[in-house]
Amino acid sequence: MIHFVLLISRQGKVRLAKWYTQYTVKERTKTIKQVTGAVLSRGPKLCNFLEFGETKLIYKRYASLYFCVGVDQEDNELATLETVHHFVEILDRYFGNVCELDLIFNFHKAYYILDEVLLGGHLQETSKRAIHHVVTEQDALVENAKNG
Amino acid sequence: MLIAGSDWRSEGAAGTAGGGGQPQALGRVLLTTEVSKNVNKNNAMHAVLFEAITLVMHLDSEQELVSQCVNLLGKFISVREPNIRYLGLENMSRLSVLPEMVPVIQAHQALPGQALSALPEMLPVIQAHQEKILASLQDTDISIRRRGLDLVFSMCDENNAKDLTSELLKYLETADFSIREELTLKMAILAERFAVDLKWYVDVILELVDKAGEFVSDEIWFRIVQVITNSEELHAYSASKVYTFLLEGSTQEPMIKVAAYLLGEFGRGIPIPPQQQFALLHESFATMGLSTRNIMLSAYAKMLMNCTPDDPEFRAKVHAVFKRYETNTDADTQQRVLEYLGLTSRPEAAMRGVLAEMPKFPERASILERAVKEKEAETTDASVQRVRSMNAEASQEVSPASATVPEIIVPVLPVAPIETPPPPTSPPQDLISGSPVAAAEPPVIEPIAPVQPSGSANVMDLLDGLIEPSAQAPAPAPAPTSAAAPSPDPFAGSAGMEDLLGGSGVASSAAAPAQVQPIADVQEWFHKLCMADNGVLYEDPNLQIGLKSSYQGFQGRVVLYLGNKAPATLSSLRLHVAPIPGLKVSINEHPGATLAPKQQIMVVIDVACSAPFMEPPQLHFGYSTDTQQAQQQLRLPIVLNKFLQPLPVTDRNEFFERWRAIPGPPLKLQEIVQVSAALTAAGLPAVQALLNALRLNVVPQLDPNPRNMVTAATLCCEASMDGIVIVRMESDANNSAQYRVTVSTSNQVASSTLKDIILTHLKA
């Protein structure tokens, strides 16, 4: 299962953090620091998988953001990369040519979408169309509520 | 496909239901996956491919598929894409630990699995793989380097061991610090496991110590010393090799430790004079840490002894070194220096006896292998037991560093050198059958008192000496004192005899099946458990019995954990506790007759003290495996002092009234005792701690004299609650080893028993 998902910018700022197992606040900050240190220092040609204590760390760099995912030892790494890419494509479709700024200003929507894709550390929905549909419906609800 | 694959793997289905369809589907996947331009499609395809490979390896039913996998993996290792390379290496190392592969790996070189076809044209391919794998060690990517290292380690066998170890040694110089320690440990294990030629082993391992420097853990160099000591032909060779290393200027601590030890023990075998050896070693003396310096001091003393034409100049130099550290703050250093000074100033004979060569080590499971296993994650319960046993073993492993103790045994005993230390129960038997001195012992030993007065010192020393090798570190004082000093373990000695007298003939009953012996001293375990509530009661190569106890008033509960360490099943397991007057013992549920490998069962024993009792109950247990059997009689550490409850003293006057109320024997007993050397050195606080550990509650400042201690407790028995127990310890201002113990209770048996228990622990 997936233990955590972290989106980290090139400067080391955390744009999104989702934890699927119980980590205390101290452990979280420690993990973030370690992941940031390990991932940001890697060159471009190196492989995307790292040993990280009990978990495997799989990361992929999209423009200025690093998508880091911590998984169990027995999980398939390439499949996780596929999952990350799946998530990125959904974001892209929703925001239309997504960039880091979109995620900074609409982080709440990014979290909604992530919760639709991953549940309890496992991939929940593989259809991009279905997720897009659900999220747009939710947006419509929000609009209606605002307008009264 | 992906999820199905992982499901199949997790359920361990060995190709049952979908048997026919699976291999075909897998075959198709393996054959038709190809590299496509689109990176993401690539990832997806390869994800499925790797999952298929893992599944094939797990199922391991279709040989053809397996060989296909292996070919694919071989291709992947040299692909440019680092992800694929990484996964290729990882899966290949997984392949090599398949159980069916292991004999195949042993039989053939390098790449596992290739031997399935064993076609001669495969051989160059195999060689190529080995080179590629070694090349991956130089990769820029740390992850790939790690994977490559794992694979190298797992694919080593007798044929390629030499090449691989030399490659690894070269790699060690450039390796990052994070993997260096693991690397050195694994290399040490590899070198030992596949050492065809012992001389080669010595070369490699010394080179390893030289290169790895600070990363050589203690366990590694203990193992080196063990191996070298056990093989006589290596002595001279290793001494000269180590001397060469010193000449070339290697000055890291582990190297110096090994060098000092080896030169001290075997330096006389090489043509270089001891004065030169000493000079060379001494150059690095000042920069070494504490434990290294202590080892070097021992080595100097041995060298001085080996210098047979007596060289006064050499002696003066060595003595100068000793004198400089006479007042060193570290107690161990000071002790060593003073004793070596004394020893080397005396005539030859005394020196020779004490500093004789170390006997061979008994065959033990390699602690290195255990250390590697420890690094991998384990379940907590099993590991707790294992760590305990590891500590028990590790403390014994400390012997080369700290002990000159075993060396004492040699002159004292007529039986020497000891190849495999016999267990505590059999030496008394040997002595009894062999020497008439020992035969006189039995009538002297009273069944109650576990403590022997120093009258039977001679046989005690003999027994102690025999027991010593199997209980090295637990003996607290490393001091090679003269024979007149309090013998470290009179308790153990007499108790060993007692077992023989009291119980069924233990060692003699083992006829055809080999008798299994405990790996360390049963007496020491008992001793420790009298003071603590949890610990190991007994351990031998097959079985470990751990003990956890808790006492409340007059009742107590003791839980025995029997764990099967061996790969075989233990059958005809029997456990019986003999009842004794005054203590009710009941086992609620008897365990079954068999114990499967790696299984642990719990036996709960409820005890209730109805009246003060003298002797601890005996546990008779036995089991048998296919080739061995064991039968032991152990004392359970359910002693009278466990039923003591601390008594808070509020009114001093009332307390002293009670004290004076009891005039003298048989209720109030007094004795003067010489405590053990360790307690003498540590002083009053240590004695206080000991008394508290025995559940006698030391009440501070009750006695006006600060050099005395008073404890107050109640002895809880079922019949008569609240028997007050008062113990007073008076220390002697002139002689810090001497104490006067006064025990006062309301029951005669309790007084004598408690007094004996206290005296035993004080002297130990």
**Chain B residues lying within 8 Å of A90, measured CB to CB:** none
Regarding predicted confidence, which is higher, A57 or B2? A57
Judged by CB atoms closer than 8 Å, whether chains meet at A49 and B86 is answered as yes
Residue with tokens 């000071």: B334
Backbone angles phi, psi at B359, to 5 degrees: -75, 170
- The answer to whether residues B567 and B619 belong to one domain is yes
Residue B698 lies in a domain: yes
User: Running DSSP on this structure, what letter comes out for residue B564?
Assistant: E
- The answer to whether residues B626 and B674 belong to one domain is no
Residue B432 pLDDT grade (very low, low, confident, very high; cuts 50, 70, 90): very low
**Chain A residues lying within 8 Å of B141, measured CB to CB:** 46-47
Residue A22 DSSP SS3: coil
Residue with tokens 């102690």: B464
Question: What share of chain B in percent tops pLDDT 70?
Answer: 65
Least confident range of A54-68, B32-46, B154-168, B491-505 = B491-505
pLDDT tens per residue across span B208-225: 888 887 888 888 888 888
HEC readout, B89-108:
HHHHHHHCCCCCHHHHHHHC
Taking a C-beta distance cutoff of 8 angstroms, is the pair B538, B655 a contact?
no
Regarding predicted confidence, which is higher, B491 or B555? B555
Q: What pLDDT does residue B526 have?
A: 80
Nearest-angstrom CA–CA distance, B128 and B620: 61
Q: What pLDDT does residue B258 have?
A: 85
Q: What pLDDT does residue B395 have?
A: 45
Q: Is the pLDDT of residue B728 over 70?
A: yes
Instruction: Choose the mutation target among A46, A57, A62 for the interface with B, i.e. most B CBs under 10 Å.
Output: A46
- The answer to whether residues B715 and B588 belong to one domain is no
Residue A54 Cα, gap to closest chain B Cα (Å): 9
Omega before B486 within 30 of 0, i.e. cis: no
Q: What is the largest CA-CA distance in chain B?
A: 101
Regarding predicted confidence, which is higher, B483 or B86? B86
Taking a C-beta distance cutoff of 8 angstroms, is the pair A70, A3 a contact?
yes
Residue B510 pLDDT grade (very low, low, confident, very high; cuts 50, 70, 90): very low
Q: Last residue of some domain: B586, B612, B638?
A: B638
Residue B633 DSSP SS3: strand
Q: Closest Cα to residue B81, out of B50, B104, B112, B109?
A: B50
Judged by CB atoms closer than 8 Å, whether chains meet at B87 and A43 is answered as no
Nearest-angstrom CA–CA distance, B726 and B711: 6
Environment class of A102 (CB within 10 Å of its CB; exposed 0-12, middle 13-18, buried 19+): middle
Regarding predicted confidence, which is higher, B41 or A147? A147
Environment class of B708 (CB within 10 Å of its CB; exposed 0-12, middle 13-18, buried 19+): middle
Q: Is the pLDDT of residue B396 over 60?
A: no
Regarding predicted confidence, which is higher, B390 or B82? B82
Residue with tokens 């006479």: B326
Name the amino acid, one letter, at B625.
T
Regarding predicted confidence, which is higher, A68 or B279? A68
CATH number for the domain including B666?
3.30.310.10
Cα angle vertex B345, ends B342, B349, to 5°?
100
- The answer to whether residues B490 and B634 belong to one domain is yes
pLDDT tens per residue across span B256-267: 888 888 888 887
Judged by CB atoms closer than 8 Å, whether chains meet at B51 and A76 is answered as yes
Q: Last residue of some domain: B602, B619, B638?
A: B638
Regarding predicted confidence, which is higher, B643 or B681? B643
Least confident range of B12-16, B388-392, B700-704 = B12-16
Judged by CB atoms closer than 8 Å, whether chains meet at B47 and A74 is answered as no
Regarding predicted confidence, which is higher, B445 or B202? B202
Judged by CB atoms closer than 8 Å, whether chains meet at B47 and A43 is answered as no
Judged by CB atoms closer than 8 Å, whether chains meet at B50 and A76 is answered as yes
Residue B5 Cα, gap to closest chain A Cα (Å): 11
Residue B593 lies in a domain: yes
Residue B583 lies in a domain: yes
Q: Is the pLDDT of residue A119 over 80?
A: yes
User: Running DSSP on this structure, what letter comes out for residue B267?
Assistant: G
- The answer to whether residues B677 and B691 belong to one domain is yes
**Averaged pLDDT for residues B648-667:** 73
Name the amino acid, one letter, at B398.
V
Q: What pLDDT does residue A28 have?
A: 95
Least confident range of A8-12, A42-46, B687-691, B702-706 = B702-706
Confidence (pTM): 0.49
Residue B573 lies in a domain: yes
Nearest-angstrom CA–CA distance, B97 and B85: 19
Cα angle vertex B386, ends B384, B391, to 5°?
95
**Averaged pLDDT for residues B99-109:** 42
Q: Is B535 left (phi over 0), alpha (psi -120 to 50) or beta?
A: left
Nearest-angstrom CA–CA distance, A19 and B320: 65
Residue B170 pLDDT grade (very low, low, confident, very high; cuts 50, 70, 90): confident
Judged by CB atoms closer than 8 Å, whether chains meet at A51 and B87 is answered as no
- Give the DSSP H/E element, type plus range, for residue B645: strand B644-646
Nearest-angstrom CA–CA distance, B466 and B287: 38
Nearest-angstrom CA–CA distance, B526 and B532: 10
Q: Closest Cα to residue A118, out of A75, A86, A74, A73?
A: A86
CATH number for the domain including A117?
3.30.450.60
Q: Is the pLDDT of residue B515 over 90?
A: no
Q: What pLDDT does residue B140 have?
A: 79
Tokens of A148: 């009264």
**Averaged pLDDT for residues B52-69:** 73
Residue B142 Cα, gap to closest chain A Cα (Å): 9
**Chain B residues lying within 8 Å of A85, measured CB to CB:** 40, 43
- The answer to whether residues B567 and B660 belong to one domain is no
Backbone angles phi, psi at B708, to 5 degrees: -110, 160
Nearest-angstrom CA–CA distance, A19 and B52: 30
Q: What pLDDT does residue B120 have?
A: 29
- The answer to whether residues B559 and B524 belong to one domain is yes
User: Running DSSP on this structure, what letter comes out for residue B482?
Assistant: -
**Averaged pLDDT for residues A85-103:** 92
- The answer to whether residues B578 and B601 belong to one domain is yes
The Cα-based distances of B507 to B28, B425, B432 in angstroms read 64, 7, 13
Residue B465 lies in a domain: no
For chain B, what is the domain count? 2
Residue B66 lies in a domain: no
Judged by CB atoms closer than 8 Å, whether chains meet at B2 and A79 is answered as yes
* Structural domain span for residue A141: 2-147
- The answer to whether residues B587 and B687 belong to one domain is no
Nearest CA in chain A to B376: A54
Taking a C-beta distance cutoff of 8 angstroms, is the pair B762, B675 a contact?
yes
- The answer to whether residues B608 and B652 belong to one domain is no
Regarding predicted confidence, which is higher, B346 or B502? B346
Residue B684 lies in a domain: yes
Q: What pLDDT does residue B504 have?
A: 38
Residue A127 pLDDT grade (very low, low, confident, very high; cuts 50, 70, 90): very high
Tokens of B120: 């001669």
Q: Is the pLDDT of residue B660 over 80?
A: no
Mean pLDDT computed over every residue of chain B: 68
Tokens of B319: 């003595």
Residue B363 pLDDT grade (very low, low, confident, very high; cuts 50, 70, 90): low
Q: What pLDDT does residue B461 have?
A: 42
The Cα-based distances of B365 to B161, B281, B505 in angstroms read 22, 32, 29
Nearest-angstrom CA–CA distance, A100 and A90: 14
Q: Is the pLDDT of residue B367 over 70?
A: no
**Chain B residues lying within 8 Å of A81, measured CB to CB:** 43, 47, 83
Residue B681 lies in a domain: yes
pLDDT tens per residue across span B665-693: 777 788 887 777 777 777 777 777 887 77
For chain A, what is the domain count? 1
Residue B143 Cα, gap to closest chain A Cα (Å): 6
Q: Last residue of some domain: B598, B621, B638?
A: B638
Nearest-angstrom CA–CA distance, A20 and A9: 21
Question: What share of chain A in percent tops pLDDT 90?
Answer: 82
Residue A29 pLDDT grade (very low, low, confident, very high; cuts 50, 70, 90): very high
pLDDT tens per residue across span B534-578: 888 888 878 888 888 888 777 888 888 888 887 777 777 777 777
| Other CB atoms within 10 Å distance of the CB of residue B34 | 8
Instruction: Choose the mutation target among B1, B46, B178 for the interface with A, i.e. most A CBs under 10 Å.
Output: B46
Residue A10 pLDDT grade (very low, low, confident, very high; cuts 50, 70, 90): very high
The Cα-based distances of B293 to A94, B286, B604 in angstroms read 70, 8, 48
Regarding predicted confidence, which is higher, A80 or B349? A80
Q: Is the pLDDT of residue B382 over 70?
A: no
* Structural domain span for residue B652: 642-763
